[in-house]
């Protein structure tokens, strides 16, 4: 009788230990924070078709001569940019890349709130897409000071930062040695949100209009 009792107690103990370990494992998984995104993209990018990124459900395959189905640093850049669902804050020095302009216009057509800051001199260069954005109804502000707006960053939905040396031009994407960091690390994203807000307010045309009115 005592032997059977001992076996039962040991068996129950093993079962309890097993359940406890499973419970601890479940709690650990629940408490473990979601993985933070850190991705580095290097340029120049391989030249490949990106039509599938804009029309993923199209039943008509693209017939252009570029390689298809190739993942590149530029296609990754586009995917991160097009992941915006509510807002996009964009701060650029030069912006003439047609596919990037198409991406921003696509987001605008989806109802994403877009604000763009650009360098006033480079906004007027041949091929600049700043005028295209304005024509589409996107709010764009240019720096009003004498210092170049040399930033190149975008904040997606207030959670994802895309930043680096890359100008938004075809030359930069296909020919230059450039780098881009993509991260959703809050400690890195938040300072860029703050800087964009500061520059957005600083370059508000109404602010200088009112200042001019007071002088006259």
Contact by Cβ (8 Å): 86, 171: no
Burial of 167 (0-12, 13-18, 19+ CB in 10 A): buried
135 belongs to the catalytic site: no
Q: In what order do the strands lie in the sheet with 139-142?
A: 38-43, 178-183, 160-164, 153-156, 87-92, 113-118, 139-142
Alpha helices in the chain (DSSP H): 2-31, 51-54, 73-81, 98-109, 130-135, 170-174, 186-202, 205-215
* pLDDT (0 to 100) of residue 61: 84
Q: Over its length of 216 residues, how does the chain's per-residue pLDDT go in tens digits?
A: 566 655 555 455 555 556 565 666 666 555 545 678 999 999 999 999 999 999 988 778 889 999 998 999 999 999 999 999 999 999 999 999 999 999 999 999 999 999 999 999 999 999 999 999 999 999 999 988 778 889 999 999 999 999 999 999 999 999 999 999 999 999 999 999 999 999 999 998 876 655 555 555
Q: Does residue 55 sit in helix, strand or coil?
A: coil
152 belongs to the catalytic site: yes
At 94, give phi and psi (nearest 5°). -125, 135
This prediction has a pTM of: 0.80
The residue assigned the tokens 């009112």 is 210
Catalytic, out of 8, 38, 150, 197? 150
157 belongs to the catalytic site: yes
């Amino acid at each position: 009788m005592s032997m059977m009792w001992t076996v039962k107690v040991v068996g129950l103990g093993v079962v309890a230990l097993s359940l406890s370990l499973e419970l601890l494992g479940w709690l650990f998984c629940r408490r473990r924070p979601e993985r933070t995104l850190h991705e580095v993209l290097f340029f120049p990018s391989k030249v490949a078709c990106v039509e599938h990124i804009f029309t993923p459900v199209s039943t008509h395959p693209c017939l252009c001569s570029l390689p298809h189905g190739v993942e590149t640093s530029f296609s990754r850049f586009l995917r991160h940019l097009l992941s915006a669902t509510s807002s996009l804050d964009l701060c650029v020095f030069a912006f003439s890349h047609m596919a990037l302009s198409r991406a921003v216009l696509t987001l605008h057509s989806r109802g994403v709130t877009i604000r763009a800051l650009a360098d006033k001199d480079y906004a007027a260069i041949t091929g600049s897409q700043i005028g295209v954005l304005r024509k589409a109804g996107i709010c764009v502000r240019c720096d009003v000071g004498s210092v170049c707006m040399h930033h190149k960053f975008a904040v997606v939905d207030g959670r994802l930062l895309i930043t680096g040396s890359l100008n938004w031009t075809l030359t930069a994407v296909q020919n230059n040695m450039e780098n881009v960091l993509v991260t959703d690390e809050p400690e890195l994203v938040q300072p860029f949100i703050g800087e964009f807000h500061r520059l957005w307010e600083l370059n508000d045309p109404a602010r200088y209009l009112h200042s001019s009115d007071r002088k006259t």
